[in-house]
Amino acid sequence: MYVGANIIVSGMVQGVGFRYFVHTWATRLGLVGYVTNLYNGDVEIETEGVRSLIETLIEEVKAGPRSAHVSDVKVKWKTSEHSFHGFEIR
């Protein structure tokens, strides 16, 4: 099932290669969307794809790269808008 998800990741997730980590996994899983740093120190992931593959991405994000420390992951599932053509770092 093709769906969308907005994922907010909290913790020590900026300045540690987190966006590149997310980009690598999302691309590997064939997901589309983007990852960006937020002003409050969180990282936001907006993605679309097969739900089971997004769930795989979420599990990887919970672990994060070695230099990161993830304290919380919030996911809001939604209907896919088919508005992305690849996965980018913003």
Contact yes or no for 6/45 (Cβ under 8 A): yes
Q: Is 19 a catalytic residue?
A: yes
Q: Which of 6, 19, 66, 90 is catalytic?
A: 19
Q: Which of 6, 28, 37, 40 is catalytic?
A: 37
Please give the C-alpha separations between residue 3 and each of 11, 38, 80, in angstroms, as whole numbers.
26, 23, 5
Q: State the Cα–Cα distance between residues 74 and 1, nearest whole angstrom.
A: 21
The pair of three-digit structure tokens given for residue 47, joined into one six-digit string = 């993605």
- Alpha carbons within 13 angstroms on the beta-carbon side of residue 7 total 27
**Catalytic positions, written as ranges:** 19, 37
